[in-house]
Amino acid sequence: MAESKNTGGRYCLHFVSIIMLILNLAAAETIAESSRLLPVVPDYKLTFPHDYGAHQDFRIEWWYITGWLETEDKNPLGFQVTFFRYATGHNHENPSRFAAKYLIIAHLALSDPAVGKLMHTEKSAREGFDLAYARQGNTDVKLDDWTLVREEDGRYQVDMRTGDFGLQLSLSPTQMLMLQDQNGFSRKGPKPEQASYYYSEPHLSVTGTVFRQNKPVAVSGRAWLDHEWSTAYLDPEADGWDWVGANLDDGSSLMAFQIRNKDGGKVWAYAALRDVSGEVKFFNPEQVEFTPVRTWKSPHTEAIYPVAMHIRTGEIEWQLTPLLDDQELDSRQSTGAVYWEGAVTLTRDNQPAGRGYLELTGYVKSLAL
């Protein structure tokens, strides 16, 4: 019996040793992958068309388009298109075409007051086999039959359809690129590494078709595109962010955000206001404030969102009013997050000022990137 117990003990120790070896190898692979990924640094100069494309040496990247459309009957619609590229942290040296080195994720949403709530859907897949990819050199992203492509003349083509609804849009630039913060180096927190590379294309002119129940509806309007990539985006104490991008009626462009911490305070904030001539005014964290005016409780998640917002940028006061309250997007099947992403109108000095999109994250649970 004693010999049997000792043999069992040796087997147990051997099994534990194997498990520890596997864990150590996994940890070593994770460390190697982390060291492979590049940090965001302030002296990098964005160059185009190269930086329109994917940046596979960074952990996370997204191409994000929001806008207001109008049907031929003058009915307003809001839309959101987002493609994400995410480095999984595994299998980088694996030559197999099946290795899940990168994930491609996409969100599609339509805000229609006639429906009364956000229509949305999502997809995700590992990159490979020409079925899902984010290519370098220019914007060219695909996930199954969903595509976002930038053509040589600068025009973007979006084709994303499901059985219930979809979009087929052409988006043409009318203004130059807007490099955010320090020539595209965008601070997201008090530490230098908490940053992203970030540019916007406001006032895109949009034409195309919205599909509902496979019925085409001609639309036109204006949109805003953000392209952002990073490796270390959020402070560990960050809870989420509030962000707005708006095409103003006079041709100006406003982008503002705040990153909230878990006790309700402000980790970081930033805003930029570019006038129609191209002159940009930047606002530091102390000059940017987001103040809730009205909240809405989601019947889907019970999260409470500040859907009507007052924003201060320096001495300028903005009021944001949602196109409709129920613009919550549940993407737990892809990114793991639930967020409010909504079309809003802006007023300044009690006068109509423009239209844009408000994004509210971290209200269901703390956001993790």
Q: What is the CATH number of domain 43-361?
A: 2.40.370.10
Mean of per-residue pLDDT scores for the chain: 88
Q: Would you state the pLDDT for residue 193?
A: 87
In whole angstroms, give the CA distance from residue 171 to residue 226. 13
User: Could you give the 3-state DSSP secondary structure of residue 29?
Assistant: helix
Please state, in angstroms and rounded to a whole number, the distance separating the CA atoms of residues 313 and 324: 25
Q: What is the pLDDT of residues 73-113, one digit of tens each?
A: 999 999 999 999 999 865 555 555 445 678 999 999 999 99
Residues 243, 196 contacting (CB under 8 angstroms)? no
Q: Any long-range contacts for 189-193 (C-beta under 8 Å, 24+ apart)? A: 189/234, 189/235, 189/238, 189/259, 189/267, 189/268, 190/235, 190/267, 190/268, 191/235, 192/42, 193/39, 193/40, 193/231, 193/232
Does residue 114 carry a pLDDT above 80? Answer: yes
User: Rounded mean pLDDT of 287-295?
Assistant: 97
Residue 332 binned pLDDT confidence (cut-offs 50, 70, 90): confident
| Residues whose CB is less than 8 angstroms from the CB of residue 93 and which lie 6 or more positions away in sequence, other chains included | none
What local confidence, expressed as pLDDT, does residue 90 receive? 59
Could you write out the DSSP letters of every residue in 265-325? -EEEEEEEEE-TTS-EEEE-GGGEEEEEEEEEE-TTT--EEEEEEEEEETTEEEEEEES-S
Q: CA nearest 273: which of 293, 291, 247?
A: 247
Percent of the chain with pLDDT over 90: 74
Residue 313 has what pLDDT?
98
> CA-CA distance, 272 to 313, in Å (whole number)?
8
> What's residue 28's pLDDT?
37
What is the biggest distance separating any 2 CA atoms in the chain, rounded to whole angstroms? 89
Q: Where are the domains of the chain?
A: 43-361
173 half-sphere exposure, CB direction, 13 A CA radius: 15
